[in-house]
Amino acid sequence: MSAPTSRRVLRRVSTAVSGAVLLAAAAGVALEGKTLPVDAAAVRDVVVPVDAARVAQVCPGPPRLATAVDGEDLGYDEFDPEGSGTSTVLDVVTLARGEDEPPGALRLRPSLGAPAGEEVSLAGSARLAQLTDAGEATVLEADPVEDAVALAAGTSVAVTGSGDLRGLAATSCQTPSTSAWLVGGSTQPGDSAQLVLSNVGQTPASVTLAGWGSTGALDLSTAGTVLVPAGGQRIVLLEALAADPRVAIHVAAAGGEVTALVQDSRLRGLVPGGTDLVAPSVPPAETVVVPGIFLGETSGEEADAPAVRVVNPGEETATVSLELLGADGPEPVPGAEDLVLDPGAVVDVSLTGIPGGPWSAVVSADRPVTAAAVTTTVGTASEEDPGTAPVDRAWSPAVPALASGVVAVPGDAVTSRYLVLANPADGDVEVELVPVLRDGTRGAPVTRTLGARTTLREDVAALADGEVAALQVRAADGAVHGGVMLTAAAPDGSLMSFVPLSEDARTASAVPLAPAPRPLG
């Protein structure tokens, strides 16, 4: 054997032996009759900061009536907010994070594909803007300040006092993503569920749909892949794909990010049965929380009764339990302790008989599920149809737990604004509520303690002497689930809608790459 060949063989043997020793040491195995000790060392999270980026959120336009289906293309009447009897108001805000620093620039695009408009002027420690009678979706853009992402939010409100679209449809402006779970709506005769997909990005997005209903998975194959153009919008009429009284949809986007909503509109013959926007719920998990369930004397019954909707999107049976959290603690829902939910099935758990007041639902299961709740209010029947009263409905999605959140508070378009916060934990959580007034100044912070497993309701107007334009919620020692319930007046009754809190985008400014180790055994 030549010298170079010998050295190569020796290097290979040495490498193999060294690797074996290292593996033996790592595994703590016996070597030559001795056990090598292994020192356990905790591996810390490796966190990589992500540069602060501009916040871009899509604020939905007013509700629309579907008029025709032409092949795979959907036609809609031109929407005239003034002529239709629908009034719209969009309130947006970006807040300063510190006392001595102003917020970054805030701009509004009047449509998805339009260039950004003028910068919103600074007022106090905030930038506030209000847009009325918008005919289509609007884009909120907020710039970061130095290395901090903007603390921004928007709330879109549409009020229709009469007609087929009678109702209060309100929701927060959405940040685009590649996935959205929409739990709510109906596609049975007389009901309409319009899936609204918006793309504010610079590249087209290909969207695929999966759906579930009362008896299992829905066949949505006729929708194919929905291409949402850059700076554009596509609307899919779900009732043209499947007929089911209980619907849940998953939206998956590739090539770009989109926002997704379902416009739920219903008719009872010629009498309106409510219009609202179904906002995305959290992805399926073994426990999800749905705040913002308001029950009262005017709540509907039977088919229009308030309910919690649960979907099991998996391929195995799930056992589900439902509990409500009220002001005084948890309240069981009769018959909802151990519900067996078939694979792909969607169930509505009626809340008829539950005492009035604000509630939050905690849905627990042995398989990942997600949920939403619908609250209803019944108006006064007309002389033309005295046997059928109009109904409005408010969909509340399952929302994430937030340590910090913000919401833009609508002004003249609504008659009341109630903050609702849920604490499903076993310990108390102290929250700080910071109102922001219309002149941009901050009101005095208000501190509240949420008892373990309770729901808090707070009148937003009572938090400050002036008119509250936005509200920041901080939970220093925990996290809460929440939003704002809005009401408006119609000639024949009250209207309602729920707006979830917007998460502080700064919580996503750092990405953990190496999670802390978990104990074995």
Q: What is the pLDDT of residues 388-397, one digit of tens each?
A: 999 999 999 9
Query: For 27-37, what is the mean pLDDT?
Result: 47
Least confident residue range of 7-21, 108-122, 269-283, 433-447: 7-21
Domain ranges of the chain: 13-42, 48-512
Note the pLDDT of residue 77: 41
Q: Is a pLDDT exceeding 90 seen at residue 41?
A: no
Which residue's entry shows tokens 């409500």? Answer: 324
For every residue of 297-342, DSSP letters joined together read TT---GGGS-EEEEE--SSS-EEEEEEEEETTEEEE-TT-SSEEE-
Contact assessment for residue 246 and residue 227, using Cβ atoms and an 8 Å cutoff: no
Task: Name the token pair of 485.
Answer: 């319930």
CA dist 41 to 26, 189, 282, 411, 521, Å?
Answer: 12, 62, 35, 56, 17
Higher pLDDT, 39 or 356: 356
Note the pLDDT of residue 68: 36
Instruction: Encode pLDDT of 456-507 as tens digits.
Output: 999 999 999 999 999 999 998 899 999 999 999 999 999 999 999 999 887 6
**Looking at 379-509, which runs of residues are DSSP E strands?**
391-397, 404-408, 416-423, 429-437, 446-450, 454-459, 468-475, 481-490, 493-500, 502-503
**Looking at 167-241, which runs of residues are DSSP E strands?**
167-172, 179-183, 191-199, 205-213, 216-218, 226-228, 232-237
Q: Which helix (H) or strand (E) covers residue 81, if one does?
A: helix 81-84
Note the pLDDT of residue 69: 35
| DSSP single-letter state for residue 238 | G
Least confident residue range of 16-25, 52-61, 112-121, 510-519: 16-25
Q: What is the total residue count of the chain?
A: 521
Query: For 225-236, what is the mean pLDDT?
Result: 96
Q: Give the mean pLDDT of the chain.
A: 87
> Binning pLDDT at 50, 70 and 90, where does residue 38 land?
low
∠ at Cα 280 (277, 285), nearest 5°? 145
C-alpha span between 519 and 521 (Å, rounded): 7
Note the pLDDT of residue 145: 86
Contact assessment for residue 472 and residue 98, using Cβ atoms and an 8 Å cutoff: no
- CA 498 to chain CA centroid, Å, is 11
Instruction: Encode pLDDT of 3-26 as tens digits.
Output: 444 444 334 434 344 444 333 434
Q: Which residues contact 291 (CB under 8 A, 6 or more apart)?
A: 360, 396, 399, 420, 421, 422, 455, 481, 482, 483
Which residue's entry shows tokens 């042995």? Answer: 366
Instruction: Encode pLDDT of 45-94 as tens digits.
Output: 565 666 778 899 999 999 998 753 333 333 334 444 443 589 999 999 99
Note the pLDDT of residue 23: 38
